[in-house]
Amino acid sequence: MLELSIIMPLYNKEYSIEQSLNSIINLDIDHSNIEVIIIDDKSTDDSVNIVSKFLEDYDFFKLIELEENSGSPSTPRNVGITKAKGTYIALLDADDWLDSKGFPELLKQAIENDSDFAFGQAIKHSDKNISKIATFASYKKQNNLIPYEIEKIFRAVGPPGKIFKRSLIVNNDIKFKHLKYGEDKLFFIEAISLSSSASMNPTPVYHVNRYSRNVSLVQETSIIEKSYLNIEVLKDVILMNIPDSAKKEAISRIIEMDFLSRLFNRKRFLNSNNKKDYYKVFNIMMKVLDKNNLVADDYITDNSLGAILKLVTEKRYDDLIEFITITTGKQKSARFLKDNQSYMRLPTPLEDIEPVKDEIYAVYNGTSEMNGEFYEIINVYIDDVQRINKVLLCEISNEPIEKEVSYLVNDYRILIKTNDLNFDDYNFNIKIVYDNYKSVLVNASYPSANINYNLNRQHYKVEFTNHHSKNTHPSAKIKANYLTEVPESVEILKKCYVYNDVEFKEKPLKKLNKNDEIKVCDIMYTKKGTPRLVTKDKQFITANKEFVKIIE
């Protein structure tokens, strides 16, 4: 039997499918032990032709073409699982890519420990930054875990960073329900709840494409429509035959994340002219809970979300709007220190709300000399300093690039030797990890609750910069120096080259000279976020403005 089946639904992804498939080819793994099943959902672009070229060169790629469009990834995934022959399954979206080193490492760990599930670190790439997601499932290397007992595990119920046994799915007859939104949630809640063993690993295994160029069916679905679909998901979860503890965590996730957080605690809600629609769908959700003798308060783990629940259930809508204006940062929140913790100062109408406190607030306090040694001082406001696990230097806007540093704790102060505060030539923030997987960046200034004046830059994070910086996420630089909107044609300003791969790692196909004109059909991004122009021939050239300019 094969070790792994990678299942990829495909619909109109000509701009990204090649990068996804190349990431599989580049896996540090014996290709004879894997298969890749691509299920096309009646694409109308060039996706199938691109895949066909891979089929000619690699016998472990398989293409299944559905006779009619199903409208969501559910049917393609179910077909892929049915056809799969691997012991383990990984789901890969055609927008995303796998990590060449980390993914094989996670698979090996799962096989060696006979784990039902294996969780690795997923990395999200956006125009603004590169960040880790769902660290609660991958903060250390560990085996023999009970999957549904991993804290917050149901807060990330999509394919990224997951490998699971095919037998678990088949033996329990778990299928993706045909939904426009929420099918992942149902599938993984049930699968994780019915599994008995898991491994986790902090190595990056899966890269999520969230560049603005990438628009999916999920992103096109309105929040109100998503919320009605989440009500159907909630009904199904309530009826699931799964352990009680797993069900409670899953319901908590739906109430806190999908309703209190994503429905209300967003600027989108504040800007809406149809807030009645928000209240209506929330009240329907509450009626579902009531019908099943469930009380929303029993599922609240976050005091800020608990405050939102209180305000909306009491129909204090003006107070709700004022509270969310503060929590979303649309209005600068006033904060103050008390008993070595940071609290949000709320206006008078909200004084009955339980105090909203930060689990941890850290602020840089400069350099001090002690016993002939220079130290960087960080004051930490937390209930128990023993909750702190480690201190990291993280590249600005590129969280996965990090370095752990040694530190001392003196009372509620973190002391780092000044000479140790060195991260090659990277510009960096200081990150404190606590409670194993939670983290916070160190602030540049103390909190202020002055209601008469705003303290400028109160929420700025401390940044250490180096004029020799080699920062690898060029988001700010990109906007200034690269084309980021798709032009019809460009003129070549300097000699450059045409490549067959977006990373420019393969040998150039040909040279372009000054004044050459090239027709362009798209923009794709490298793994580090650098834009490349896609030519009409599906080849790649630089988007750097020093080499190309738009032909008006």
Is position 163 within any domain?
Answer: yes
Does 387 lie in the same domain as 313? no
Dist CA 188 CA 164 (whole Å): 10
Q: What is the 3-state secondary structure (H, E, C) of 91-146?
A: ECCCCCEECCCHHHHHHHHHHHHCCCEEEEEEEEEECCCEEEECHHHCCCCEEEEC
Average pLDDT over residues 9-19: 93
- C-alpha distances in Å from residue 138, one per residue of 147, 252, 321, 347, 401: 12, 21, 36, 39, 16
Average pLDDT over residues 540-552: 92
Is position 337 within any domain?
Answer: no
Backbone angles phi, psi at 132, to 5 degrees: -85, 145
Which of 307, 331, 355 is a domain's end point?
A: 331
Does 162 lie in the same domain as 19? yes
Burial of 444 (0-12, 13-18, 19+ CB in 10 A): middle
Dist CA 315 CA 282 (whole Å): 11
Does 365 lie in the same domain as 416? yes
64 pLDDT more than 80: yes
- Note the pLDDT tens digit of each residue in 323-355: 999 998 756 678 999 999 999 999 989 989 988
With b meaning 16 or more CB within 10 Å and e meaning fewer, what string describes 151-181?
A: ebbbebbbbbbbbbbbebbeeeebbbbebeb
- Mean pLDDT, the chain, rounded, equals 93
* Torsion sign, CA atoms 148, 152, 154, 160: negative
Is position 22 within any domain?
Answer: yes
Q: What is the percent of the chain with per-residue pLDDT over 70, rounded to a whole number?
A: 95
**pLDDT the model gives residue 475:** 55
Average pLDDT over residues 453-466: 85
Burial of 479 (0-12, 13-18, 19+ CB in 10 A): exposed
Higher pLDDT, 483 or 79: 79
Does 280 lie in the same domain as 134? no
- Note the pLDDT tens digit of each residue in 354-367: 889 999 999 999 99
Q: Quick one: pLDDT band at residue 214, thresholds 50, 70, 90? A: low
Tell me the residue type at 438: K
Is position 465 within any domain?
Answer: yes
Does 356 lie in the same domain as 308? no
Higher pLDDT, 166 or 485: 166
The answer to whether the beta carbons of residues 307 and 353 sit under 8 Å apart is: yes
Does 248 lie in the same domain as 202? no
Is position 336 within any domain?
Answer: no
**pLDDT the model gives residue 480:** 61
Name the residue range of residue 360's domain.
Answer: 342-472
Q: Quick one: pLDDT band at residue 215, thresholds 50, 70, 90? A: low
**pLDDT the model gives residue 524:** 85
Does 152 lie in the same domain as 103? yes
**CATH code, domain with 529:** 2.30.30
Question: Which three-class secondary structure state does DSSP give residue 534?
Answer: strand
* Structural domain total, the chain: 4
- Note the pLDDT tens digit of each residue in 167-181: 999 999 999 999 888
**Tokens of residue 18, six digits:** 């090649």
Is position 194 within any domain?
Answer: yes
Tell me the residue type at 379: N
Which of 447, 472, 497 is a domain's end point?
A: 472
Place of tokens 């209005």: 331
Average pLDDT over residues 488-516: 91
Question: Which range, of 19-28, 177-186, 378-387, 466-475, averages the lowest pLDDT?
Answer: 466-475
Residue 132 pairs with which residues in a beta bridge? 123
Is position 118 within any domain?
Answer: yes
Average pLDDT over residues 509-520: 92
**pLDDT the model gives residue 507:** 85
Does 373 lie in the same domain as 307? no
Q: Quick one: pLDDT band at residue 473, thresholds 50, 70, 90? A: low
Higher pLDDT, 488 or 102: 102
Question: Which range, of 120-124, 210-214, 494-498, 543-547, averages the lowest pLDDT?
Answer: 210-214
Residue 164 pairs with which residues in a beta bridge? 89, 117
Dist CA 324 CA 330 (whole Å): 8
**CATH code, domain with 413:** 2.60.40
Q: Quick one: pLDDT band at residue 522, thresholds 50, 70, 90? A: confident
- Note the pLDDT tens digit of each residue in 355-406: 899 999 999 999 999 999 999 999 999 999 999 999 999 999 999 999 999 9
Tell me the residue type at 344: M
Which of 299, 331, 363 is a domain's end point?
A: 331
Does 243 lie in the same domain as 134? no
Question: Which range, of 78-82, 150-154, 182-186, 213-217, averages the lowest pLDDT?
Answer: 213-217
**pLDDT the model gives residue 256:** 98
Does 285 lie in the same domain as 143? no
Q: Which of 274, 267, 299, 268 is nearest to 286 (CA)?
A: 299
- Note the pLDDT tens digit of each residue in 407-431: 999 999 999 999 999 998 899 999 9
Question: Which three-class secondary structure state does DSSP give residue 254?
Answer: helix
- Note the pLDDT tens digit of each residue in 305-314: 999 999 999 9
**pLDDT the model gives residue 478:** 55
Q: Quick one: pLDDT band at residue 183, thresholds 50, 70, 90? A: very high
Does 196 lie in the same domain as 73? yes
**pLDDT the model gives residue 334:** 85
**Tokens of residue 135, six digits:** 């660290």
The answer to whether the beta carbons of residues 377 and 415 sit under 8 Å apart is: yes
**CATH code, domain with 92:** 3.90.550.10
Burial of 143 (0-12, 13-18, 19+ CB in 10 A): middle
- C-alpha distances in Å from residue 159, one per residue of 74, 98, 500: 12, 12, 29
Backbone angles phi, psi at 437, to 5 degrees: -130, -15
Does 322 lie in the same domain as 390? no
Place of tokens 């977006």: 502
Is position 92 within any domain?
Answer: yes
**pLDDT the model gives residue 459:** 81
Higher pLDDT, 342 or 217: 342
Q: What is the percent of the chain with per-residue pLDDT over 90, rounded to a whole number?
A: 80
Q: Quick one: pLDDT band at residue 217, thresholds 50, 70, 90? A: very low
